[in-house]
């Protein structure tokens, strides 16, 4: 008994058994890995066609990466992109409690305050070392 399985697309919906005990329904349009014995039965009923290539090649919808926007980050709406970048900068770099509902001007002001406070702290440390 040959145990190698190939992939087949069903051309008709038919019942069949992979192991000779449990019967299952093989649905038209779906792709299945079948043992040679079951494939031969379906072949004689003109119910299958062999699928070549990888399973990804057989998909109707191909998986693609994120779409690149014309002026920037992938998948980010251009009208909110700048605000989202400012929010990320404020949260990740300065630990500020901000969100995307804030205006661009308010975010920039908070970031500038945090930058100047950081610069003042750095300047004080430098003076102490001298």
Q: Which pLDDT belongs to residue 56?
A: 61
One digit per residue, the tens of pLDDT, for the chain of length 130 reads 556 788 899 999 999 998 889 999 999 999 999 999 999 999 888 889 988 866 566 556 655 555 554 444 445 554 555 777 888 877 887 788 888 788 888 888 888 888 888 777 777 766 666 5
25 beta partners: 15
Q: Which pLDDT belongs to residue 52?
A: 80
Residue pair 18/38 in contact by the 8 Å Cβ criterion: yes
| Phi, psi dihedral angles at 33 (to 5 degrees) | -90, 120
Supply the pTM of this predicted model.
0.40
Q: Which pLDDT belongs to residue 63?
A: 56
| Phi, psi dihedral angles at 4 (to 5 degrees) | -75, 140
| Phi, psi dihedral angles at 67 (to 5 degrees) | -80, 140
Helices (H) then strands (E): counts for the chain: 3, 5
Question: 25 — alpha (psi -120 to 50), left (phi > 0) or beta?
Answer: beta
């Amino acid at each position: 008994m040959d145990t190698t399985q190939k992939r087949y697309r069903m051309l008709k919906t038919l019942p069949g058994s992979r192991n000779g005990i449990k019967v299952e329904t093989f649905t038209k349009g779906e792709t299945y890995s079948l043992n040679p014995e079951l494939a031969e039965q379906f072949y004689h009923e003109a119910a299958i066609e062999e699928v070549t290539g990888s399973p990804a090649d057989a998909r109707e919808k191909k998986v693609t990466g994120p779409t690149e926007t014309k002026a920037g980050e992938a998948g980010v709406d251009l009208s909110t992109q700048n605000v989202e970048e400012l929010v990320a900068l404020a949260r990740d770099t300065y630990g500020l409690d901000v969100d995307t509902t804030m205006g661009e001007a308010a975010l920039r002001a908070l970031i500038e305050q945090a930058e100047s406070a950081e610069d003042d702290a750095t300047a004080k440390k430098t003076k102490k070392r001298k």
